[in-house]
Structure 1
Amino acid sequence: MTSPIEALVQQLDGDDDASYAARVQLVGIGRDATLTITDGLPTLGRFGQLTAIEVFEEVADRRCGPALVALLDNDDPTVGEWAAEALANLEIDGAVEPLRRVYRACLERATPPDWSEPVGIRWALTELCARTLVVPPLAARLHVMTDADAPGRPSAHFEEIINDLADHDQVILYSQFWRVEGGRTYGTPGTGLDWELDWTSAWRELVEEARAWSLLEASEAPVGENIFVAITWIDRTDLHP
């Protein structure tokens, strides 16, 4: 006979209302639901698994660690990305080597480094102190100068930061703009500029091509005292971990 918690787990795959209601109840149950959710994960579809990951993070029960590690190999890259980020957020012991393994797998199948899955895995490794983000002097200084909750660095210095990163051999992947107002953060439309790097190129060619595109973006980017730019970049070692 299906238990009430098992029934809630299956509802995670339902429509938006049913899934949300089940999520709220499972979070309310807390740790007593964790193992039942992990047992039910293989029976859930993509939506249910993503919602289950959200429950794990809200409940913050580290017993879900092995289940999250198993989800790293999911056929859906978004599920794998969310699982990676949850492993970092929950500081799961033993997560580093599985994360390194799936990151190497991304590189081996030539997943572009700016796609969300490798971006999420790199972020998780950084949070777990298993990857060192190279932060050049100007970029570091501007980050320290902003409010601790600011979602990036002042957009007025965007061009300077671009050159600082490129001069220190970093490849810029993309940038996002945010507006801080009344203590809240809002996404701000950027330039709409989009580019694709040729990842078969030599590293210095990638650095300079990314610099050129980013400087073009900076010439059209929104600027203001409350506008911040969050830049995502990688080091040469990220392609050869």
Structure 2
Amino acid sequence: MTTHIERLIQQLDDSTGPSYDARAELIDIGSDAIPAIIDGLPSLDRFGQLTAIEVFDEVADPRCRPALITLLESEDSTVREWAAMALASLKIDGAAEPVRRAYRACLERATPPDWTEPSGIRWALTELGARTPVVPALTARLRATVADDAPGWPSVRFTEIINDLADHAQVILYSQFWRVDAGSTYGISGPALGWELDWTASWEHLVEESRSWSLLEASEAPAGDDVFVAPTWIDRTDLHPER
């Protein structure tokens, strides 16, 4: 069995097809495969490490904690992001501080806050209880009126949400739109504005710049009783976390 597991681990790097079958089989083997995957991680390339993280996430064996924490220092941004998110989704004890360090390192690399790595790590910090998003009262109230399985806020209230967040000094990074139809949820395209924020500007300028772009987006966004919007926003403290 050990030799078979080791062979499967080496196949995790092969994105042409074998990786997917190896991933499924390792998940089926479960916890018995975890020590060998941990030992084999250094020999895997980027694709293999990302697939290994998926196996860790599915098997949910706490022994993967040290390996995931080590991957937070990977040279690859997606590996770092996925490792942080896996630590959070698995609710790994003691993960908050290593993930917080990974986020500070991300900021020190001057990675724009709306890129996927900082966004994923902020999500992880929130899930681990190490970050509390600022949710103004009106925004919270509008969200509470939506069914539990709806992905966000009613799109018809998007303008109110934008102004509420900006009035409370929050910077909206981007928004996603969803349609709920006959119990199914699927993403839909919003306006293709392609806006980018100038992260060298003052926070106050960023707030108003994101408000302007978001209001323009709201004016062109899909709307309807079955359409929902999920904005992602940050607070000033997300750019200057406590050490």
Tell me if the contact between 2:178 and 2:229 (Cα under 8 Å) persists in the aligned partners: yes
- Report the alpha carbon displacement of residue 109 of structure 1 after superposing the two structures with TM: 1.5
Match of 1:35 in 2: 35
| Aligned AA (1:62) | P
- Report the alpha carbon displacement of residue 2 of structure 1 after superposing the two structures with TM: 6.9
Once superposed, which parts of structure 1, at least 4 consecutive aligned residues long, lie more than 3 Å away? none
- Report the alpha carbon displacement of residue 173 of structure 1 after superposing the two structures with TM: 0.3
Q: Specify the SS of the correspondent of 1:125.
A: helix
Match of 1:240 in 2: 240
CA distance in 2, matches of 1:19, 1:185: 29
Match of 1:7 in 2: 7
| Aligned AA (1:178) | W
Q: Which runs of 5+ in 2 are unaligned?
A: none
CA distance in 1, matches of 2:34, 2:53: 11
* Equivalence map 1:68-83=2 (5 Å): 68-83=68-83
- Report the alpha carbon displacement of residue 196 of structure 1 after superposing the two structures with TM: 1.1
CA distance in 2, matches of 1:54, 1:169: 36
Q: Specify the SS of the correspondent of 1:30.
A: helix
Q: Specify the SS of the correspondent of 1:219.
A: helix
CA distance in 2, matches of 1:147, 1:112: 33
Match of 1:125 in 2: 125
Structure 1 stretch displaced more, 81-90 or 179-188? 179-188
Match of 2:151 in 1: 151
CA distance in 1, matches of 2:39, 2:148: 39
Tell me if the contact between 2:150 and 2:228 (Cα under 8 Å) persists in the aligned partners: yes
Match of 2:52 in 1: 52
| Aligned AA (1:155) | S
* Equivalence map 1:201-216=2 (5 Å): 201-216=201-216
| Aligned AA (2:12) | L
Tell me if the contact between 2:179 and 2:185 (Cα under 8 Å) persists in the aligned partners: yes
TM-score by length of 2: 0.97
| Aligned AA (1:141) | R
Aligned: 1:168 with 2:187: no
Aligned: 1:224 with 2:224: yes
Count of residues paired in the alignment? 241
Once the two structures are superposed, residues 61-112 of structure 1 have per-residue CA deviations (whole angstroms, 9 ceiling, x without a partner) of 1110110111111111011111110000001111111111111111112110
Tell me if the contact between 2:15 and 2:47 (Cα under 8 Å) persists in the aligned partners: no
Aligned: 1:100 with 2:100: yes
TM-score by length of 1: 0.98
| Aligned AA (1:93) | D
Q: Which runs of 5+ in 1 are unaligned?
A: none
Q: Specify the SS of the correspondent of 1:112.
A: coil
- Report the alpha carbon displacement of residue 15 of structure 1 after superposing the two structures with TM: 3.1
CA distance in 2, matches of 1:12, 1:211: 44
- Report the alpha carbon displacement of residue 151 of structure 1 after superposing the two structures with TM: 1.0
CA distance in 1, matches of 2:39, 2:181: 43
- Report the alpha carbon displacement of residue 16 of structure 1 after superposing the two structures with TM: 3.7
| Aligned AA (1:130) | A
- Report the alpha carbon displacement of residue 40 of structure 1 after superposing the two structures with TM: 0.6
| Aligned AA (1:24) | A
Cα root mean square deviation, aligned: 1.2
Match of 2:89 in 1: 89
CA distance in 2, matches of 1:236, 1:74: 27
